[in-house]
A and B are shown apart, each in its own frame.
Chain A
Amino acid sequence: MKNVLGDKKSILILVGPALLVYTLVMLVPVFWSLGYTVFEGNAIVGFTFVGLDNFATMIGDTRVHDALWFTIRYAFVITIGQVLFGYALSLLYVFVLRRSSSIVRTLVFFPVVLPTVAVALMFQKMFEVAPQNGLVNELLNAVGIPSVDWFGSAGSAFLVIAVMDIWRSMGFYGVLLYAGLVDIPEETLESARLDGASGLKLVRHIVIPLSLPVLLSSIIFSINGTLKVFDSVLALTNGGPGTTTSPLTLYMFQTSFTYGEYGYGSTIALLLTILCLVVTVFIFRSSRRDLTKG
């Protein structure tokens, strides 16, 4: 075994094909796009070199600032929602439902495997107000509250997006964190209970610290995903009303493929990449500190 893995040539043969595919499919387009940031144009009219003009435009572009702010807000709210609800669900599975939790786990997990566009269309119909009231507005009318145009203003549209995405993914985080909670040794919990800890105190002082690694990795996973949200927002509101629910991904997509400005679109993509990088480095740094403290 050591002979095989120690030999450079055999490593190359084993890793080579996968590395080639990865380079061609992932790395080459990334660098290609990086190159585009100093050009302007599109596939129809060709490209011209413009130096750092795209970066100068981006710094002054209010649409980019709005999109960046929306992306950060979205990532923040959805991550907290997903992880919080997921954690609450996992506590439910471990401490309340115990053995009968498997069917509930499966049912709550089900929305995760549904196509995002299908879920978005369903929520569009549920929250609609024209040409006829959707489910939510009917319920509001039944208790005497007038219908709300959910997709007509930025705040309520954001709320609908948040509800949709949290509902869809909390099952996933529930299962993920459940796996982490199950790892907590039963003896620790027993001894804590004997010492008089129960309910919330047990959770706060024993369960959370012991499940911190899996909680942290859930947060990292969630932030990375939510910073790059695209299909659920596109399918639900198309960035509307106007451009108030456009994350950076959607703005970059529109700039490149609707307005035909590949260079500027790549620049926005670079901004998003740097944002993801900064967030990831920040989280890794802080998580590493936690682990060494023990």
Chain B
Amino acid sequence: MTTRHSRRRTLALVAGVGSAALLLAGCAGGGGGGGSSSPDEFSLLTNSENAELPAIFTALSEDACATENEALPFTSDSVPQTNLDQRLQLLAGQNALPVVYSAGNAPALTKTLDDSGNVLDFESTLTELDAIDNIEPAAISTIEALYGGFKVLPFEYNIEGIWYNKTIFADNGVEVPETWDDLVAAAGTFDDAGVTPFSASGEQGWPITRLLGNYIFRTLGPDALQKVTDGDAKLTDPEYVEAAQAVADLGAEGYFGQGVGSIDYDTATNQFLNGSAAMFYMGSWALSDFNDAERNQVGLDNIGFMPFPNVEGGEGDSSQIAANVGLPATFNAKTYDSKVGDWLGCIADNYGSEALASQGRVSGFKVNTPVDDLPALTQEVQERIATTEQAVLWFEALFSTKATTTSQTNAAQLVTGDITAEEFMELVQNDL
């Protein structure tokens, strides 16, 4: 039924639609730049799991930074960590990022935001404000290793390791393990005694991949994952798969308890703090939860810290503690003005002491007002930080956003045995 006339019309219509589509997309893509504005609020966006950054900022706004708060009032908003990267990209695309925001889950996203001018350079800004001496040099070097510059603020400076319940260890006659094999044997003893050996959040995924990353650093040395990012090694090489297999074996024995994929961050912390789990791999940011007397039912004196153990025959050793700046926050370069600068200066001066005093949080800011009566665990963490010569990062530290998401969403399946170690490493390697 199609005559030449109507066929020509269809052709013209299709051509018209196609070119309109290309034009729209091409033209629209180019625009959308510029536009700095003076903010009327000192707005903060954090991941919901981080309750303390808003709390410390609120405390500062009422006390040490009250004048700055008068000029530019403080407000805060939060988003679940699993949605953080998404939210940041959306806001950045609309030029609507707040004044202070949590940097992306993957450092790669922060680098992208930096390339498009959304991230403040703290080296120059803090030097201008004459506040750069307030930052610990160790923290600055960790940040530069991860972000290629001083682009985020070290509101946390953490070391990671295995926190353990001293009473459960004593009751079962287990000594602090020095090697991986000792650790697995200890887990076996706890499992037989009816205690969950490891508390880990499969819903978040990264508490499990931390174990993987640390195993790799212990067997292959501190630069093992840099080699993968540079392309000199692949995650699917047998030495790397061995690490995934070691973690999968823990899961196969049931050492993570049941339903690990549904356990979220708070539940995992609670499991350790109510005495149902013997060991808990976590960073020292958890100290603020441990210091919470209501939440900590096992008692602060009952919690010990051990670095991730050696793996026999490996190139790394347990003195190379995993250190990081947590999920840091950064300032929006586009909304930076003199009032924000005043806030930044005030924060740089006071954050260290406020965080340590109110939350027991060790940060990368210098403690300008000395804090007495620090809990024993906090002192231990400070000592370890001071004596660490070589720190290592974490498994996904140098990966792209896509690979980070793949690694963290599939970690629970690795542990439940739904995917094999080779498959897991292949999935992540494909997305690098």
A39 with B29, Cβ < 8 A, contacts A128-B259, A240-B261, A254-B405 known: yes
Q: Identify whether the interface residues of A are mostly helix, strand, loop, or mixed.
A: loop
A241 with B24, Cβ < 8 A, contacts A44-B92, A149-B258, A257-B90 known: no
Closest to A257 in B: B86
| Residues 99 to 150 of chain A near chain B (Cβ within 8 Å) | 128-131, 147, 149
Instruction: Say whether B9 faces chain A, with CB atoms less than 8 Å apart.
Output: no
Instruction: Say whether B293 faces chain A, with CB atoms less than 8 Å apart.
Output: no
A129 with B262, Cβ < 8 A, contacts A43-B93, A254-B405 known: yes
Residues of B within 8 A of A42 (CB): 89, 93
Residues of B within 8 Å of A, CB-based: how many?
47
Chain A proximity mask over B251-285: 1 for CB below 8 Å, otherwise 0:
00000011111110001001100000000000000
In the complex, 26 of the A-B residue pairs with CB atoms within 8 angstroms, ordered by the A residue number, are A32-B21, A32-B24, A34-B21, A34-B25, A35-B23, A35-B24, A35-B26, A39-B25, A44-B116, A46-B30, A129-B262, A130-B263, A131-B267, A149-B259, A149-B262, A152-B260, A152-B261, A152-B418, A153-B418, A238-B82, A239-B409, A240-B261, A240-B409, A242-B410, A254-B405, A257-B86
Chain B proximity mask over A255-271: 1 for CB below 8 Å, otherwise 0:
00111100000000000
B271 touching A152, Cβ below 8 Å: no
Residues of A within 8 A of B32 (CB): 43
Distance in Å from the Cβ of B269 to the closest Cβ of chain A?
A: 11
Instruction: Say whether A41 faces chain B, with CB atoms less than 8 Å apart.
Output: yes
Residues of B within 8 A of A128 (CB): 259, 262
Q: Which residues of A contact B (CB under 8 A)?
A: 28, 31-32, 34-36, 38-39, 41-47, 49, 128-131, 147, 149, 151-154, 238-243, 254, 257-260
Chain A proximity mask over B18-53: 1 for CB below 8 Å, otherwise 0:
001111111011101000000000000000000000
Cα A128 to Cα B259 with chains together (Å): 8
Residues of B within 8 A of A44 (CB): 89, 92-93, 112-113, 116, 118
Cα A144 to Cα B21 with chains together (Å): 61
Distance in Å from the Cβ of B118 to the closest Cβ of chain A?
A: 8
A152 partner, pick from B115, B410, B416, beta carbons under 8 A? B416
Instruction: Say whether B85 faces chain A, with CB atoms less than 8 Å apart.
Output: yes
Residues of A within 8 A of B270 (CB): 131
Instruction: Say whether B159 faces chain A, with CB atoms less than 8 Å apart.
Output: no
Distance in Å from the Cβ of B200 to the closest Cβ of chain A?
A: 11
B401 touching A258, Cβ below 8 Å: yes
B418 touching A242, Cβ below 8 Å: yes
Cα A243 to Cα B419 with chains together (Å): 11
Cα A99 to Cα B400 with chains together (Å): 62
A39 touching B262, Cβ below 8 Å: no
Distance in Å from the Cβ of A274 to the closest Cβ of chain B?
A: 15
Cα A262 to Cα B22 with chains together (Å): 14
A41 with B29, Cβ < 8 A, contacts A130-B258, A149-B262 known: yes
Known: A130-B257, A257-B89, A258-B401. 5 other contacts (CB 8 A): A35-B24, A47-B25, A131-B270, A152-B260, A260-B112
Instruction: Say whether B412 faces chain A, with CB atoms less than 8 Å apart.
Output: yes
B82 touching A260, Cβ below 8 Å: no
Residues of B within 8 A of A36 (CB): 25
Cα A240 to Cα B414 with chains together (Å): 13
A45 with B115, Cβ < 8 A, contacts A32-B25, A258-B86 known: yes
Distance in Å from the Cβ of A67 to the closest Cβ of chain B?
A: 14
Residues of A within 8 A of B116 (CB): 44-45
Cα A31 to Cα B85 with chains together (Å): 27
B24 touching A242, Cβ below 8 Å: no
A259 touching B259, Cβ below 8 Å: no
A241 with B258, Cβ < 8 A, contacts A38-B22, A258-B405, A260-B112 known: no
Residues of A within 8 A of B416 (CB): 149, 152-153, 241
Closest to B423 in A: A242
Closest to A149 in B: B259
Closest to B89 in A: A260
Residues of A within 8 A of B24 (CB): 28, 31-32, 35
Residues of A within 8 A of B262 (CB): 128-130, 149, 151-152
- Candidate in B26, B89, B90, B419 with the most chain A CB atoms within 10 angstroms: B89
A242 touching B405, Cβ below 8 Å: no
Instruction: Say whether B127 faces chain A, with CB atoms less than 8 Å apart.
Output: no
Residues of A within 8 A of B85 (CB): 258
Distance in Å from the Cβ of B281 to the closest Cβ of chain A?
A: 17
| Residues 40 to 97 of chain B near chain A (Cβ within 8 Å) | 82, 85-86, 89-90, 92-94
A46 with B258, Cβ < 8 A, contacts A149-B416, A257-B89, A259-B401 known: no
Distance in Å from the Cβ of B283 to the closest Cβ of chain A?
A: 22
Cα A100 to Cα B412 with chains together (Å): 50
Cα A131 to Cα B93 with chains together (Å): 39
Cα A46 to Cα B258 with chains together (Å): 45
Closest to B22 in A: A35
Cα A38 to Cα B112 with chains together (Å): 22
